[in-house]
Chains A and B, each alone.
Chain A
Amino acid sequence: MAVPSFLARERIVARPGFNRWLIPPAALAVHLCIGQAYATSVYKTALVEHFDTSLTAIGIIFSIAIVMLGLSAAVFGTWVDRNGPRAAMFTSAVFWVSGFLVGSLGIYTEQLWLLYFGYGFLGGIGLGIGYISPVSTLIKWFPDRPGLATGMAIMGFGGGALIASPLSRQLMNFYDPGYDGTAGTVPSGNSVALLFLTLGLVYLVFMMFGAFIIRVPADGWRPDGFDPASVKAKSLVTTENVSANNAIRTPQFWLLWTVLFCNVTAGIGILEQAAPMIQDFFRDGATSAVAAATAAGFVGLLSLFNMGGRFVWSSTSDYIGRKPIYMVYLGVGIVLYIVLATLGSTATWVFVLTAAIIISFYGGGFATVPAYLRDLFGTYQVGAIHGRLLTAWAAAGVVGPLIINGVLDSRGTPGELVAGDYRPALFIMVGLLAVGFVANLLIKPVADKWHEPKAAPSPSTQEASAAR
Protein backbone atom coordinates (compact mmCIF):
# COMPACT_ATOMS: atom_id res chain seq x y z
CA MET A 1 0.00 0.00 0.00
CA ALA A 2 1.71 3.19 -1.19
CA VAL A 3 1.60 6.34 0.91
CA PRO A 4 1.56 9.98 -0.30
CA SER A 5 5.09 11.22 -0.99
CA PHE A 6 5.12 13.71 1.90
CA LEU A 7 4.68 10.79 4.29
CA ALA A 8 7.21 8.49 2.64
CA ARG A 9 10.18 7.16 4.56
CA GLU A 10 12.61 8.47 1.93
CA ARG A 11 11.41 12.03 2.63
CA ILE A 12 12.35 11.91 6.30
CA VAL A 13 15.85 10.48 6.21
CA ALA A 14 17.90 12.80 8.46
CA ARG A 15 20.82 14.63 6.95
CA PRO A 16 24.21 14.43 8.65
CA GLY A 17 24.33 16.61 11.77
CA PHE A 18 20.66 16.15 12.69
CA ASN A 19 20.20 16.19 16.47
CA ARG A 20 18.60 12.94 17.63
CA TRP A 21 17.17 14.58 20.77
CA LEU A 22 14.33 15.89 18.61
CA ILE A 23 13.06 12.32 18.23
CA PRO A 24 11.92 11.56 21.82
CA PRO A 25 9.51 14.55 21.94
CA ALA A 26 8.12 13.45 18.56
CA ALA A 27 7.44 10.02 20.04
CA LEU A 28 6.03 11.51 23.23
CA ALA A 29 3.67 13.74 21.21
CA VAL A 30 1.98 10.55 20.00
CA HIS A 31 2.17 8.43 23.16
CA LEU A 32 0.95 11.21 25.47
CA CYS A 33 -2.19 11.43 23.28
CA ILE A 34 -2.98 7.74 22.89
CA GLY A 35 -2.33 7.17 26.61
CA GLN A 36 -5.77 8.74 27.12
CA ALA A 37 -7.06 5.18 26.68
CA TYR A 38 -6.29 4.59 30.37
CA ALA A 39 -8.33 7.59 31.52
CA THR A 40 -11.75 6.41 30.40
CA SER A 41 -13.00 5.90 33.97
CA VAL A 42 -13.55 9.66 34.40
CA TYR A 43 -16.60 9.68 32.12
CA LYS A 44 -17.77 6.07 32.52
CA THR A 45 -20.62 6.87 34.93
CA ALA A 46 -21.75 9.79 32.77
CA LEU A 47 -22.05 7.47 29.76
CA VAL A 48 -23.94 4.85 31.78
CA GLU A 49 -26.52 7.48 32.75
CA HIS A 50 -26.61 9.15 29.32
CA PHE A 51 -27.27 5.89 27.46
CA ASP A 52 -29.31 4.46 30.35
CA THR A 53 -27.36 1.23 30.15
CA SER A 54 -25.08 -0.98 32.26
CA LEU A 55 -21.46 -0.49 33.26
CA THR A 56 -20.63 -3.61 31.25
CA ALA A 57 -22.12 -2.13 28.07
CA ILE A 58 -19.95 0.96 28.51
CA GLY A 59 -16.90 -1.12 29.52
CA ILE A 60 -17.13 -2.87 26.13
CA ILE A 61 -15.96 0.36 24.45
CA PHE A 62 -12.60 0.09 26.20
CA SER A 63 -12.38 -3.66 25.58
CA ILE A 64 -12.96 -3.18 21.82
CA ALA A 65 -10.24 -0.50 21.79
CA ILE A 66 -7.69 -2.75 23.53
CA VAL A 67 -8.48 -5.76 21.32
CA MET A 68 -8.15 -3.53 18.23
CA LEU A 69 -4.87 -2.20 19.64
CA GLY A 70 -3.43 -5.73 19.76
CA LEU A 71 -4.84 -6.73 16.37
CA SER A 72 -3.82 -3.59 14.49
CA ALA A 73 -0.31 -3.58 16.00
CA ALA A 74 0.08 -7.19 14.85
CA VAL A 75 -1.47 -6.71 11.40
CA PHE A 76 0.01 -3.31 10.50
CA GLY A 77 3.43 -3.78 12.12
CA THR A 78 5.15 -4.70 8.85
CA TRP A 79 3.44 -1.79 7.07
CA VAL A 80 4.69 0.55 9.81
CA ASP A 81 8.27 -0.71 9.44
CA ARG A 82 8.12 -0.45 5.63
CA ASN A 83 6.61 3.03 5.37
CA GLY A 84 8.34 4.65 8.29
CA PRO A 85 7.24 6.55 11.38
CA ARG A 86 5.75 9.66 9.72
CA ALA A 87 3.24 7.64 7.70
CA ALA A 88 2.47 5.56 10.79
CA MET A 89 2.03 8.53 13.14
CA PHE A 90 -0.10 10.37 10.56
CA THR A 91 -2.31 7.30 10.06
CA SER A 92 -2.54 6.74 13.80
CA ALA A 93 -3.60 10.38 14.29
CA VAL A 94 -6.29 10.06 11.61
CA PHE A 95 -7.76 6.92 13.21
CA TRP A 96 -7.41 8.11 16.81
CA VAL A 97 -8.96 11.52 16.12
CA SER A 98 -11.70 10.04 13.90
CA GLY A 99 -12.49 7.74 16.82
CA PHE A 100 -13.11 10.74 19.06
CA LEU A 101 -15.14 12.64 16.46
CA VAL A 102 -17.35 9.65 15.58
CA GLY A 103 -17.63 8.85 19.30
CA SER A 104 -18.69 12.42 20.00
CA LEU A 105 -21.40 12.13 17.35
CA GLY A 106 -22.50 8.83 18.89
CA ILE A 107 -22.87 10.40 22.34
CA TYR A 108 -24.63 13.49 20.97
CA THR A 109 -27.13 11.42 18.95
CA GLU A 110 -27.40 8.75 21.68
CA GLN A 111 -26.23 5.99 19.32
CA LEU A 112 -24.11 3.66 21.43
CA TRP A 113 -23.03 1.63 18.40
CA LEU A 114 -21.37 4.74 17.00
CA LEU A 115 -19.33 5.00 20.18
CA TYR A 116 -18.32 1.32 19.83
CA PHE A 117 -17.38 1.92 16.19
CA GLY A 118 -15.74 5.30 16.76
CA TYR A 119 -13.72 5.16 19.96
CA GLY A 120 -13.55 1.35 20.11
CA PHE A 121 -12.89 0.26 16.52
CA LEU A 122 -11.38 3.32 14.78
CA GLY A 123 -9.69 4.64 17.92
CA GLY A 124 -8.33 1.17 18.72
CA ILE A 125 -6.64 0.98 15.31
CA GLY A 126 -5.10 4.40 15.99
CA LEU A 127 -3.91 3.10 19.35
CA GLY A 128 -2.19 0.04 17.89
CA ILE A 129 -0.44 1.87 15.04
CA GLY A 130 0.45 4.81 17.28
CA TYR A 131 1.87 2.61 20.03
CA ILE A 132 4.41 0.90 17.79
CA SER A 133 5.04 3.77 15.35
CA PRO A 134 7.97 5.53 17.06
CA VAL A 135 9.50 2.51 18.81
CA SER A 136 11.73 1.08 16.10
CA THR A 137 12.78 4.61 15.06
CA LEU A 138 13.89 5.37 18.61
CA ILE A 139 15.82 2.11 18.79
CA LYS A 140 17.65 3.04 15.57
CA TRP A 141 18.46 6.56 16.81
CA PHE A 142 19.67 5.28 20.19
CA PRO A 143 21.53 2.02 19.49
CA ASP A 144 23.72 2.84 22.49
CA ARG A 145 20.74 3.25 24.89
CA PRO A 146 17.70 1.40 23.46
CA GLY A 147 16.13 0.89 26.90
CA LEU A 148 16.29 4.60 27.68
CA ALA A 149 14.83 5.45 24.28
CA THR A 150 11.86 3.09 24.41
CA GLY A 151 11.37 3.90 28.10
CA MET A 152 10.91 7.57 27.21
CA ALA A 153 8.22 6.85 24.61
CA ILE A 154 6.33 4.20 26.52
CA MET A 155 6.49 6.33 29.66
CA GLY A 156 4.46 8.77 27.57
CA PHE A 157 1.67 6.21 27.25
CA GLY A 158 1.47 6.10 31.06
CA GLY A 159 1.74 9.88 31.20
CA GLY A 160 -1.14 10.31 28.76
CA ALA A 161 -3.60 9.06 31.36
CA LEU A 162 -2.17 11.41 33.99
CA ILE A 163 -2.89 14.34 31.68
CA ALA A 164 -6.25 13.19 30.31
CA SER A 165 -7.87 12.47 33.69
CA PRO A 166 -7.64 15.96 35.25
CA LEU A 167 -8.02 17.66 31.86
CA SER A 168 -11.23 15.72 31.15
CA ARG A 169 -12.65 16.65 34.56
CA GLN A 170 -11.87 20.33 33.99
CA LEU A 171 -13.32 20.32 30.47
CA MET A 172 -16.49 18.53 31.55
CA ASN A 173 -16.85 21.07 34.36
CA PHE A 174 -16.43 23.84 31.77
CA TYR A 175 -19.12 22.35 29.50
CA ASP A 176 -21.41 21.39 32.39
CA PRO A 177 -21.02 23.76 35.37
CA GLY A 178 -23.28 21.46 37.41
CA TYR A 179 -20.45 18.92 37.49
CA ASP A 180 -17.60 19.79 39.84
CA GLY A 181 -15.64 16.54 39.83
CA THR A 182 -16.58 15.55 43.36
CA ALA A 183 -18.26 12.28 44.30
CA GLY A 184 -22.00 12.36 43.68
CA THR A 185 -21.97 14.74 40.72
CA VAL A 186 -22.12 13.28 37.23
CA PRO A 187 -21.39 15.26 34.04
CA SER A 188 -24.10 15.43 31.38
CA GLY A 189 -23.84 13.31 28.22
CA ASN A 190 -23.53 16.42 26.06
CA SER A 191 -20.56 17.61 28.08
CA VAL A 192 -18.87 14.25 27.37
CA ALA A 193 -19.69 14.69 23.64
CA LEU A 194 -18.04 18.12 23.71
CA LEU A 195 -15.11 16.66 25.67
CA PHE A 196 -14.57 14.06 22.92
CA LEU A 197 -14.71 16.80 20.27
CA THR A 198 -12.18 18.95 22.14
CA LEU A 199 -9.79 16.09 22.89
CA GLY A 200 -9.97 14.95 19.26
CA LEU A 201 -8.93 18.39 17.99
CA VAL A 202 -6.17 18.84 20.59
CA TYR A 203 -4.78 15.36 19.87
CA LEU A 204 -4.85 16.09 16.13
CA VAL A 205 -2.52 19.06 16.60
CA PHE A 206 -0.13 17.21 18.93
CA MET A 207 0.11 14.03 16.89
CA MET A 208 0.61 15.89 13.62
CA PHE A 209 3.41 17.87 15.29
CA GLY A 210 5.08 14.57 16.19
CA ALA A 211 4.55 13.20 12.68
CA PHE A 212 6.16 16.21 11.06
CA ILE A 213 9.29 16.49 13.21
CA ILE A 214 10.09 12.77 13.19
CA ARG A 215 13.12 11.65 11.16
CA VAL A 216 14.80 8.31 10.50
CA PRO A 217 18.58 7.91 10.54
CA ALA A 218 20.38 7.31 7.26
CA ASP A 219 21.53 3.76 6.58
CA GLY A 220 24.79 3.17 8.39
CA TRP A 221 24.37 6.12 10.76
CA ARG A 222 25.59 5.68 14.28
CA PRO A 223 26.16 8.02 17.22
CA ASP A 224 29.61 9.42 17.84
CA GLY A 225 31.79 7.05 19.80
CA PHE A 226 29.38 4.15 19.46
CA ASP A 227 30.92 0.86 18.47
CA PRO A 228 28.40 -1.86 17.49
CA ALA A 229 31.00 -4.46 18.51
CA SER A 230 30.61 -3.33 22.12
CA VAL A 231 26.92 -4.26 21.93
CA LYS A 232 27.62 -7.63 20.42
CA ALA A 233 29.96 -8.38 23.33
CA LYS A 234 26.91 -8.62 25.64
CA SER A 235 25.25 -11.99 25.85
CA LEU A 236 21.88 -12.33 24.07
CA VAL A 237 22.48 -9.17 22.01
CA THR A 238 22.73 -9.71 18.28
CA THR A 239 23.93 -7.50 15.46
CA GLU A 240 22.12 -9.82 13.04
CA ASN A 241 18.55 -9.29 11.83
CA VAL A 242 15.49 -11.52 11.87
CA SER A 243 12.34 -10.79 9.86
CA ALA A 244 8.95 -10.57 11.58
CA ASN A 245 7.71 -13.67 9.77
CA ASN A 246 10.72 -15.68 10.94
CA ALA A 247 10.68 -14.22 14.45
CA ILE A 248 7.28 -15.71 15.23
CA ARG A 249 8.67 -19.15 14.31
CA THR A 250 11.34 -18.96 16.99
CA PRO A 251 10.90 -20.20 20.58
CA GLN A 252 12.40 -16.91 21.78
CA PHE A 253 9.40 -14.95 20.48
CA TRP A 254 6.89 -17.18 22.25
CA LEU A 255 8.93 -17.29 25.47
CA LEU A 256 8.98 -13.50 25.47
CA TRP A 257 5.24 -13.49 24.64
CA THR A 258 4.73 -15.63 27.76
CA VAL A 259 6.93 -13.32 29.85
CA LEU A 260 4.96 -10.23 28.78
CA PHE A 261 1.60 -11.98 29.19
CA CYS A 262 2.43 -13.11 32.75
CA ASN A 263 3.88 -9.77 33.80
CA VAL A 264 0.92 -7.79 32.41
CA THR A 265 -1.73 -10.19 33.75
CA ALA A 266 -0.23 -9.95 37.25
CA GLY A 267 -0.11 -6.13 37.13
CA ILE A 268 -3.64 -5.80 35.80
CA GLY A 269 -4.79 -7.86 38.78
CA ILE A 270 -3.94 -4.94 41.05
CA LEU A 271 -4.65 -2.06 38.66
CA GLU A 272 -8.18 -3.26 37.91
CA GLN A 273 -9.15 -3.39 41.57
CA ALA A 274 -6.89 -0.74 43.07
CA ALA A 275 -9.44 1.52 44.77
CA PRO A 276 -11.76 -1.15 46.26
CA MET A 277 -8.78 -3.40 47.04
CA ILE A 278 -7.09 -0.99 49.47
CA GLN A 279 -10.42 -0.38 51.21
CA ASP A 280 -11.15 -4.10 51.47
CA PHE A 281 -7.69 -4.86 52.89
CA PHE A 282 -8.39 -2.54 55.81
CA ARG A 283 -12.08 -3.28 56.27
CA ASP A 284 -13.58 -3.77 59.68
CA GLY A 285 -17.16 -4.97 59.24
CA ALA A 286 -19.12 -2.61 57.00
CA THR A 287 -16.58 0.22 57.17
CA SER A 288 -13.03 0.55 55.95
CA ALA A 289 -10.20 2.38 57.68
CA VAL A 290 -9.32 3.74 54.23
CA ALA A 291 -11.63 6.53 53.02
CA ALA A 292 -12.75 6.81 49.38
CA ALA A 293 -10.59 9.92 48.87
CA THR A 294 -7.54 8.07 50.20
CA ALA A 295 -8.29 5.15 47.88
CA ALA A 296 -8.38 7.60 44.95
CA GLY A 297 -5.01 8.89 46.11
CA PHE A 298 -3.71 5.32 46.04
CA VAL A 299 -4.85 5.00 42.40
CA GLY A 300 -2.96 8.23 41.63
CA LEU A 301 0.16 6.91 43.32
CA LEU A 302 -0.01 3.70 41.28
CA SER A 303 -0.26 5.79 38.07
CA LEU A 304 2.92 7.60 39.07
CA PHE A 305 4.78 4.34 39.74
CA ASN A 306 3.40 2.85 36.51
CA MET A 307 4.79 5.79 34.54
CA GLY A 308 8.03 6.12 36.49
CA GLY A 309 8.74 2.39 36.26
CA ARG A 310 8.57 2.58 32.48
CA PHE A 311 11.40 5.08 32.34
CA VAL A 312 13.53 4.05 35.32
CA TRP A 313 13.52 0.27 34.86
CA SER A 314 13.82 0.36 31.08
CA SER A 315 16.81 2.73 31.33
CA THR A 316 18.35 0.50 34.01
CA SER A 317 18.10 -2.46 31.62
CA ASP A 318 20.69 -0.76 29.38
CA TYR A 319 23.21 -1.32 32.17
CA ILE A 320 22.24 -4.66 33.71
CA GLY A 321 20.78 -6.33 30.61
CA ARG A 322 17.28 -7.30 29.52
CA LYS A 323 17.18 -10.84 30.87
CA PRO A 324 18.37 -9.84 34.38
CA ILE A 325 15.85 -6.97 34.60
CA TYR A 326 12.97 -9.36 33.78
CA MET A 327 14.33 -11.69 36.46
CA VAL A 328 13.86 -8.75 38.82
CA TYR A 329 10.36 -7.89 37.51
CA LEU A 330 9.18 -11.49 37.82
CA GLY A 331 11.31 -12.85 40.68
CA VAL A 332 11.02 -9.88 43.03
CA GLY A 333 7.41 -9.61 41.83
CA ILE A 334 6.74 -13.12 43.21
CA VAL A 335 8.14 -12.12 46.62
CA LEU A 336 6.13 -8.88 46.63
CA TYR A 337 2.88 -10.66 45.74
CA ILE A 338 3.46 -13.12 48.59
CA VAL A 339 4.14 -10.19 50.96
CA LEU A 340 0.95 -8.49 49.72
CA ALA A 341 -1.11 -11.64 50.24
CA THR A 342 0.24 -12.47 53.69
CA LEU A 343 1.32 -9.17 55.28
CA GLY A 344 -0.54 -6.62 53.12
CA SER A 345 -3.28 -6.02 55.68
CA THR A 346 -0.90 -5.48 58.62
CA ALA A 347 -0.17 -1.83 57.83
CA THR A 348 -1.23 0.63 55.14
CA TRP A 349 2.38 1.50 54.28
CA VAL A 350 3.23 -2.17 53.66
CA PHE A 351 0.27 -2.50 51.29
CA VAL A 352 0.94 0.77 49.46
CA LEU A 353 4.69 0.27 49.08
CA THR A 354 4.35 -3.33 47.88
CA ALA A 355 1.63 -2.53 45.36
CA ALA A 356 3.50 0.52 44.07
CA ILE A 357 6.67 -1.47 43.37
CA ILE A 358 4.65 -4.24 41.68
CA ILE A 359 3.04 -1.64 39.39
CA SER A 360 6.42 -0.09 38.60
CA PHE A 361 7.51 -3.57 37.39
CA TYR A 362 4.32 -3.80 35.32
CA GLY A 363 5.19 -0.53 33.57
CA GLY A 364 8.83 -1.52 33.28
CA GLY A 365 7.84 -4.77 31.57
CA PHE A 366 6.03 -2.84 28.84
CA ALA A 367 8.83 -0.37 28.27
CA THR A 368 11.73 -2.85 28.26
CA VAL A 369 10.22 -5.36 25.86
CA PRO A 370 11.03 -3.48 22.59
CA ALA A 371 14.69 -3.30 23.63
CA TYR A 372 14.63 -7.02 24.50
CA LEU A 373 13.22 -7.70 21.00
CA ARG A 374 15.93 -5.60 19.43
CA ASP A 375 18.58 -7.53 21.38
CA LEU A 376 17.21 -10.86 20.15
CA PHE A 377 16.03 -10.06 16.61
CA GLY A 378 17.96 -6.92 15.55
CA THR A 379 16.47 -3.68 14.26
CA TYR A 380 15.35 -4.83 10.78
CA GLN A 381 11.64 -5.39 11.53
CA VAL A 382 11.57 -4.78 15.27
CA GLY A 383 8.41 -2.65 14.96
CA ALA A 384 6.49 -5.45 13.28
CA ILE A 385 7.77 -8.02 15.79
CA HIS A 386 6.79 -5.69 18.64
CA GLY A 387 3.33 -5.35 17.10
CA ARG A 388 2.87 -9.11 17.07
CA LEU A 389 4.11 -9.42 20.63
CA LEU A 390 1.48 -6.95 21.80
CA THR A 391 -1.18 -9.62 21.30
CA ALA A 392 0.10 -10.79 24.71
CA TRP A 393 -1.16 -7.48 26.12
CA ALA A 394 -4.59 -7.96 24.54
CA ALA A 395 -4.76 -11.51 25.96
CA ALA A 396 -3.65 -10.35 29.41
CA GLY A 397 -6.26 -7.58 29.27
CA VAL A 398 -8.92 -10.30 29.09
CA VAL A 399 -7.38 -12.90 31.43
CA GLY A 400 -6.21 -10.56 34.24
CA PRO A 401 -9.64 -9.09 35.05
CA LEU A 402 -11.24 -12.54 34.58
CA ILE A 403 -8.99 -14.00 37.29
CA ILE A 404 -9.44 -11.23 39.82
CA ASN A 405 -13.17 -10.73 39.20
CA GLY A 406 -13.81 -14.48 39.05
CA VAL A 407 -12.12 -15.08 42.42
CA LEU A 408 -13.79 -12.09 44.10
CA ASP A 409 -17.23 -13.02 42.74
CA SER A 410 -16.84 -16.48 44.27
CA ARG A 411 -15.81 -15.04 47.66
CA GLY A 412 -18.57 -12.54 48.34
CA THR A 413 -20.15 -9.28 47.30
CA PRO A 414 -18.37 -5.97 46.73
CA GLY A 415 -18.34 -3.82 49.84
CA GLU A 416 -18.10 -6.85 52.12
CA LEU A 417 -14.84 -8.39 50.90
CA VAL A 418 -11.77 -8.52 53.15
CA ALA A 419 -8.04 -9.12 52.61
CA GLY A 420 -8.39 -12.91 52.84
CA ASP A 421 -10.79 -12.93 49.88
CA TYR A 422 -8.04 -11.59 47.65
CA ARG A 423 -5.50 -14.25 48.63
CA PRO A 424 -6.48 -16.93 46.05
CA ALA A 425 -6.22 -14.37 43.23
CA LEU A 426 -2.89 -13.09 44.50
CA PHE A 427 -1.48 -16.62 44.71
CA ILE A 428 -2.67 -17.30 41.14
CA MET A 429 -0.64 -14.22 40.15
CA VAL A 430 2.38 -15.69 42.01
CA GLY A 431 1.99 -18.85 39.91
CA LEU A 432 1.77 -16.80 36.71
CA LEU A 433 4.87 -14.82 37.60
CA ALA A 434 6.71 -18.10 38.27
CA VAL A 435 5.76 -19.30 34.78
CA GLY A 436 7.02 -16.01 33.34
CA PHE A 437 10.24 -16.28 35.36
CA VAL A 438 10.97 -19.75 33.93
CA ALA A 439 10.10 -18.59 30.39
CA ASN A 440 12.57 -15.71 30.75
CA LEU A 441 15.29 -18.08 32.01
CA LEU A 442 14.80 -20.27 28.92
CA ILE A 443 15.48 -17.42 26.48
CA LYS A 444 18.70 -18.04 24.53
CA PRO A 445 20.17 -16.28 21.46
CA VAL A 446 18.22 -16.87 18.22
CA ALA A 447 19.65 -19.64 16.03
CA ASP A 448 21.71 -18.53 13.02
CA LYS A 449 19.29 -20.15 10.55
CA TRP A 450 16.72 -17.38 11.24
CA HIS A 451 19.11 -14.52 10.47
CA GLU A 452 18.60 -12.48 7.32
CA PRO A 453 21.35 -12.71 4.69
CA LYS A 454 24.16 -10.25 5.48
CA ALA A 455 23.14 -7.55 2.99
CA ALA A 456 19.58 -7.44 4.26
CA PRO A 457 17.75 -4.60 2.58
CA SER A 458 16.56 -1.75 4.76
CA PRO A 459 12.78 -1.32 4.77
CA SER A 460 13.16 1.75 2.57
CA THR A 461 15.25 -0.04 -0.01
CA GLN A 462 12.82 -2.92 0.10
CA GLU A 463 9.95 -0.53 -0.58
CA ALA A 464 11.84 1.08 -3.43
CA SER A 465 12.60 -2.25 -5.04
CA ALA A 466 9.00 -3.34 -4.61
CA ALA A 467 7.92 -0.19 -6.44
CA ARG A 468 10.21 -0.85 -9.36
Chain B
Amino acid sequence: MSTPASTSSNQRPTHTPAALIAFAWTLVGVPLAYGLYNTVKAASALFGG
Protein backbone atom coordinates (compact mmCIF):
# COMPACT_ATOMS: atom_id res chain seq x y z
CA MET B 1 0.00 0.00 0.00
CA SER B 2 1.07 3.51 0.24
CA THR B 3 3.35 5.30 1.36
CA PRO B 4 4.10 8.13 3.59
CA ALA B 5 6.48 10.06 1.48
CA SER B 6 10.14 9.81 2.15
CA THR B 7 10.47 13.30 0.84
CA SER B 8 11.99 16.51 1.89
CA SER B 9 8.56 18.13 1.75
CA ASN B 10 7.71 20.14 4.85
CA GLN B 11 3.99 20.03 4.13
CA ARG B 12 1.73 18.64 6.85
CA PRO B 13 0.73 15.03 6.24
CA THR B 14 -2.60 14.10 4.74
CA HIS B 15 -4.83 11.08 5.01
CA THR B 16 -6.75 9.74 2.03
CA PRO B 17 -10.15 8.50 3.26
CA ALA B 18 -10.73 4.83 2.47
CA ALA B 19 -14.29 5.76 1.45
CA LEU B 20 -12.95 8.05 -1.29
CA ILE B 21 -10.73 5.29 -2.65
CA ALA B 22 -13.64 2.81 -2.54
CA PHE B 23 -15.92 5.35 -4.26
CA ALA B 24 -13.38 6.05 -7.02
CA TRP B 25 -12.83 2.35 -7.69
CA THR B 26 -16.59 1.72 -7.68
CA LEU B 27 -17.19 4.56 -10.12
CA VAL B 28 -14.85 2.99 -12.68
CA GLY B 29 -15.48 -0.62 -11.66
CA VAL B 30 -19.26 -0.67 -12.17
CA PRO B 31 -19.20 0.43 -15.84
CA LEU B 32 -16.31 -1.93 -16.47
CA ALA B 33 -18.26 -4.83 -14.92
CA TYR B 34 -21.28 -3.87 -17.08
CA GLY B 35 -19.08 -3.95 -20.19
CA LEU B 36 -17.45 -7.24 -19.22
CA TYR B 37 -20.81 -8.88 -18.50
CA ASN B 38 -22.23 -7.84 -21.87
CA THR B 39 -19.11 -8.92 -23.74
CA VAL B 40 -18.95 -12.30 -22.03
CA LYS B 41 -22.64 -12.73 -22.89
CA ALA B 42 -21.89 -11.96 -26.55
CA ALA B 43 -18.81 -14.19 -26.56
CA SER B 44 -20.80 -17.09 -25.12
CA ALA B 45 -22.45 -17.45 -28.57
CA LEU B 46 -19.09 -18.80 -29.66
CA PHE B 47 -19.51 -21.76 -27.34
CA GLY B 48 -23.13 -22.33 -28.25
CA GLY B 49 -24.42 -20.37 -25.22
Chain A 151-176: CB-based contact to B (< 8 A → 1; otherwise 0) = 00000100101111111000000000
Residues of chain A with a CB closer than 8 A to B25's CB: 25
Chain A residues 275-309 with CB under 8 Å of chain B are 293-294, 296-301, 303-304
In the complex, the number of residue pairs spanning A and B with C-beta atoms less than 8 Å apart equals: 141
Q: How large is the interface on A (under 10, 10 to 19, 20 to 34, 35 or more residues)?
A: 35 or more
- A29 to B14 alpha-carbon distance, docked (Å): 23
Decide yes or no whether A113 CB sits under 8 A from chain B: no
Residues of chain A with a CB closer than 8 A to B43's CB: 297-298, 300-301, 304
Q: Are A297 and B2 in contact (CB under 8 A)?
A: no
Q: Are B36 and A218 in contact (CB under 8 A)?
A: no
Q: Are A20 and B3 in contact (CB under 8 A)?
A: yes
- A109 to B8 alpha-carbon distance, docked (Å): 58
Q: Are A352 and B28 in contact (CB under 8 A)?
A: no
Q: Are B39 and A15 in contact (CB under 8 A)?
A: no
Q: Are B24 and A15 in contact (CB under 8 A)?
A: no
Instruction: Tell me the nearest residue of chain B to A159, going by C-beta.
Output: B32
Q: Are B27 and A301 in contact (CB under 8 A)?
A: no
Q: From known contacts A294-B46, A296-B42, A300-B43, infer whether A163 and B31 are also in contact, taking CB-CB under 8 Å.
A: yes
Q: Which of A13, A213, A303 is the one whose CB lies under 8 Å from B39?
A: A303
Q: How far is the CB of B23 from chain A (nearest CB, A)?
A: 9
Q: From known contacts A15-B12, A300-B40, infer whether A20 and B46 are also in contact, taking CB-CB under 8 Å.
A: no
Q: From known contacts A32-B28, A159-B35, A162-B35, infer whether A16 and B5 are also in contact, taking CB-CB under 8 Å.
A: yes
Residues of B in contact (CB 8 Å), total 35
- A352 to B43 alpha-carbon distance, docked (Å): 11
Q: Which of A17, A26, A163 is the one whose CB lies under 8 Å from B35?
A: A163
Decide yes or no whether A22 CB sits under 8 A from chain B: yes
Chain A 209-241: CB-based contact to B (< 8 A → 1; otherwise 0) = 100010001111111100000000000000000
Q: Are A16 and B16 in contact (CB under 8 A)?
A: no
Q: How far is the CB of B3 from chain A (nearest CB, A)?
A: 5
Q: From known contacts A15-B11, A17-B5, A223-B2, infer whether A298 and B46 are also in contact, taking CB-CB under 8 Å.
A: yes
Chain B 1-31: CB-based contact to A (< 8 A → 1; otherwise 0) = 1111111110111111000110011011001
Q: Are B9 and A166 in contact (CB under 8 A)?
A: no
Decide yes or no whether A21 CB sits under 8 A from chain B: yes
Q: From known contacts A14-B14, A25-B25, A220-B8, infer whether A32 and B38 are also in contact, taking CB-CB under 8 Å.
A: no
Q: Are A301 and B46 in contact (CB under 8 A)?
A: yes
- A294 to B1 alpha-carbon distance, docked (Å): 43
- A186 to B24 alpha-carbon distance, docked (Å): 36
Chain A 18-36: CB-based contact to B (< 8 A → 1; otherwise 0) = 1111100110110010000
Q: Are B7 and A163 in contact (CB under 8 A)?
A: no
Q: Are A221 and B28 in contact (CB under 8 A)?
A: no
Residues of B whose CB lies within 8 Å of any CB of A are 1-9, 11-16, 20-21, 24-25, 27-28, 31-32, 34-36, 38-40, 42-47
Q: Beyond A18-B16, A218-B5: 6 further Cβ-contacts under 8 Å?
A: A14-B5, A19-B3, A21-B21, A28-B32, A297-B42, A352-B46
Residues of A whose CB lies within 8 Å of any CB of B are 13-22, 25-26, 28-29, 32, 156, 159, 161-167, 206, 209, 213, 217-224, 293-294, 296-301, 303-304, 352
The 14 listed contacts between A and B (C-beta, < 8 Å) are A16-B11, A16-B14, A21-B1, A28-B32, A156-B28, A163-B34, A167-B35, A206-B27, A213-B24, A217-B7, A220-B6, A220-B9, A224-B2, A297-B44
